[in-house]
Copies of this chain bind each other. A is one copy, B any other.
Amino acid sequence: MQMNDWYPSRVDHQPRILKRKDPVLHGDEQSRNKGPFTPEQLDFFDKNGFLLLENFFSAEEVEGMKKDLDRLWKENRFNDSPEIIREPDSEAIRSIFDAHRKNERFNRLVRDSRITDRIAQLLGSDVYVHQFRINYKPGFTGKEFQWHSDFETWHVEDGMPRMRAVSCSILLTDNHSYNGPLMLIPGSHRHFVSCIGETPDNHFKHSLRKQEVGVPDPDSLTWLYKRGGIYTATGSAGSLLLFECNTMHGSAGNISPLPRSNVFFVFNSVENALEKPFSGQSPRPDFPGQPHAANPRAGQDKLIRTKV
């Protein structure tokens, strides 16, 4: 454990619930109130830890992204690079990481000022992309994502010191209650669930298929659920869901015929630069948790920093 570990996890035999020590809305209020989010939207995000923006992208934009998703799926069917994550029970592609570095459309996407202006407003600083992935969740066979706080993993495995990051999920298929939509626990971002267990070496190789360490305990989840309930993020293709890095979320499997694909990327504040992983282990490779200070590629993503 490092000296300055504000959110210790996977170090104890007992789970614990710690109070969040960081604000949810960062920076000074005056510049935050300049928009683009309205004060009501900011309040909602502050209170609940997420915000769903329906019909954020046009039908044409959605079509374009879906075309590229299909193309990447086909191109990577037999690709055994570590950026290609497969379903736990089959060889179907579950996620593709890092597409924003290789695909022009997705590279443009993470620089889109409609998004970055809003993220910078929430985080009160310049921001950069910490992670980018496409999630396929195919019909019939897409498996569940267990409950987790993204921050818990990024903190322990990537060395993200504080809670000052926001995730974006673009719905590329209609998300119904029945095709495994994202579920979030409102208000859960205000508590940090310190998980039990130690992080195995190279944990990411397994955890991206099926998470087993860094999974909150049932009692803590029940405690959060009793306070906040569960919000099911249903919405039509083209909606944008923003959620705070510590908001507890997960999704059930998808047995419906309809896939539930999305593009998922995370912005971190440049004032929240990564340190050494709090697990004491080596940082994960570039694609699931970058750019890291020690990483030669880090420079690339500076390009997409944006001024508040």
Please give the residue numbers on chain A whose beta carbons come within 8 Å of chain B beta carbons, in ascending order.
139-140, 144, 146-147, 176-178, 180, 183, 218, 221-222, 225, 230, 232, 234, 250-258
B146, B221, B257: the one within 8 Å of A218 (CB): B257
Q: Which residues of B contact A222 (CB under 8 A)?
A: 139, 257
What is the bound-complex CA distance between A176 and B178, given in angstroms?
11
Q: Which residues of B contact A256 (CB under 8 A)?
A: 183, 225, 230
Q: How many copies does the complex hold?
A: 2
**Nearest CB in chain B to that of A231: its residue:** B178
Asked whether A139 lies within 8 Å of B218 as measured between CB atoms, the reply is: yes
Sample 17 A-B pairs with CB under 8 A, ordered by A number: A140-B221, A144-B255, A146-B255, A177-B177, A177-B232, A178-B183, A178-B252, A180-B252, A218-B257, A221-B257, A225-B256, A225-B257, A230-B256, A252-B252, A252-B254, A252-B255, A253-B253
**Nearest CB in chain B to that of A183: its residue:** B178
A52 to chain B, nearest CB (A): 15
What is the bound-complex CA distance between A146 and B255, given in angstroms?
7
Asked whether B144 lies within 8 Å of A230 as measured between CB atoms, the reply is: no
Asked whether B257 lies within 8 Å of A250 as measured between CB atoms, the reply is: no
Asked whether B218 lies within 8 Å of A178 as measured between CB atoms, the reply is: no
B144, B176, B221: the one within 8 Å of A253 (CB): B144
Q: Which residues of B contact A146 (CB under 8 A)?
A: 255
Q: Which residues of B contact A144 (CB under 8 A)?
A: 252-253, 255
What is the bound-complex CA distance between A25 and B152, given in angstroms?
55
What is the bound-complex CA distance between A281 and B172, given in angstroms?
47
Q: Which residues of B contact A230 (CB under 8 A)?
A: 176, 178, 256
Query: What 9 new A-B contacts, CB under 8 Å, besides A251-B255, A252-B254?
Result: A139-B222, A140-B218, A140-B221, A144-B253, A144-B255, A177-B178, A178-B230, A178-B252, A252-B252
Q: Which residues of B contact A257 (CB under 8 A)?
A: 218, 221-222, 225
What is the bound-complex CA distance between A251 and B254, given in angstroms?
9
What is the bound-complex CA distance between A183 and B232, given in angstroms?
16
A53 to chain B, nearest CB (A): 21
What is the bound-complex CA distance between A232 and B251, given in angstroms?
16
Q: Which residues of B contact A258 (CB under 8 A)?
A: 225
What is the bound-complex CA distance between A178 and B255, given in angstroms?
14
What is the bound-complex CA distance between A167 and B233, given in angstroms?
31
Q: Which residues of B contact A140 (CB under 8 A)?
A: 218, 221
Q: Which residues of B contact A176 (CB under 8 A)?
A: 230
